[in-house]
Amino acid sequence: MSKIVGIIGSGMIGSQVARLAISAGFNVVICNTRGPESLADLVAELGSKAEAAVFDEVVQATNLLVLAVPFAAYSNLSAEKLAGKILIDTLNYYPERDGVMAEVHTDKIATSELVQNHLSKSLVVRAINNMDFVRLLSRARPAGDKERSALPVASNDAEAKKVVIEFLDAIGYDAVDMGSLSDSWRSEPTMPVYVNPYWGQDTVYESGPRDVQSFMTASGRVVDKNEVSELLSKAVRHDKMFGLLGNFAVEKS
């Protein structure tokens, strides 16, 4: 596995993955839309193994990339430039943020399949999307630690999946193979394995605003491989799968 990870998007998730990767001994190259200068503070915090760059430089630096942009931005990413790359797809669709995207509201396709369809020459691996950015950092544990949590992983490419499972292992997580990208709806927003169990909330998705203070401060809990498998098996598609607030009514096509 390359010891360089490229991160596209430097917000809540991108910056936390950068912190975890640096702690695990990786070099990190990261970009956002505002340019490398805007990342000076983050790079100073991360230290000498981190570098801010522009998109093209991040892509050229490594074959292992983390997509950490708002879901709606996926269709603006260059399929040609990302050809052949392993892409960790952390993207979740939130209509409140992304706008209503009819292609998602079909009940027939997982968001990661849409990403793979657009980035057709890349090796998309669904992972890290079901863990919130607070617990993603605080719950990471070394291999063998009895407090180690697990994350679901899906891909249409077995080798790429293996690489990402190794990456997760390095940054502090076990992995549970949930199959191909067509199975990856099981870890999408509102599904039982999505955010709440790690946060320590009821695993049943509830509508209404969340408790922001609890979200930012809760230490969360261990969600091990067995529990992840069990939660994945309990997933049932329903017609309000999308949205942080859970009360965003959208007509299904």
Ligand X SMILES: NC(=O)c1ccc[n+]([C@@H]2O[C@H](COP(=O)([O-])OP(=O)(O)OC[C@H]3O[C@@H](n4cnc5c(N)ncnc54)[C@H](OP(=O)(O)O)[C@@H]3O)[C@@H](O)[C@H]2O)c1
State the alpha helices, DSSP H only, in the chain.
Answer: 12-23, 40-46, 55-61, 95-98, 111-118, 133-138, 158-171, 196-199, 212-217, 225-233
Q: Cβ closer to ligand X: 31 or 124?
A: 31
The dihedrals phi and psi of 30, each to the nearest 5 degrees, come to -135, 145
CB 203 within 8 A of CB 233: no
Residue 12 lies near ligand X (rule: CB under 6 A): yes
Q: Which of 18, 65, 71, 140 binds ligand X (CB under 6 A)?
A: 71
Partnered with residue 30 across adjacent β-strands are 7, 52
For residue 244, the minimal CB distance to ligand X (Å) is 9
Residue 245 lies near ligand X (rule: CB under 6 A): no
For residue 144, the minimal CB distance to ligand X (Å) is 25
Residue 201 lies near ligand X (rule: CB under 6 A): no
Q: How far apart are CA 119 and CA 41, in angstroms?
A: 31
Stretch of residues binding ligand X (CB under 6 A), selected from 46-54, 67-75, 148-156, 228-236:
67-75
Q: How far apart are CA 189 and CA 185, in angstroms?
A: 8
Within residues 103-132, the interface with ligand X by CB under 6 A covers: 129, 132
Q: Which of 133, 198, 199, 242 binds ligand X (CB under 6 A)?
A: 133
Q: Cβ closer to ligand X: 14 or 220?
A: 14
Residue 11 lies near ligand X (rule: CB under 6 A): yes
Q: Which of 4, 5, 7, 14 binds ligand X (CB under 6 A)?
A: 14
CB 170 within 8 A of CB 25: yes
Residue 216 lies near ligand X (rule: CB under 6 A): no
Residue whose beta carbon is closest to ligand X: 11
The dihedrals phi and psi of 252, each to the nearest 5 degrees, come to -80, 145
Q: Cβ closer to ligand X: 158 or 164?
A: 164
Fill in the per-residue mask, 156 to 185: x = in contact with ligand X (CB under 6 A), - = not in contact: ------------------------------
**N-term to C-term CA, the chain:** 42
CB 29 within 8 A of CB 4: yes
Q: Cβ closer to ligand X: 133 or 185?
A: 133
Cα angle value 242/69/54 (rounded, 5°)? 170
Residues of this chain that interact with ligand X (CB under 6 A) are 8-14, 31-34, 55, 68-71, 73, 76, 90-92, 129, 132-133
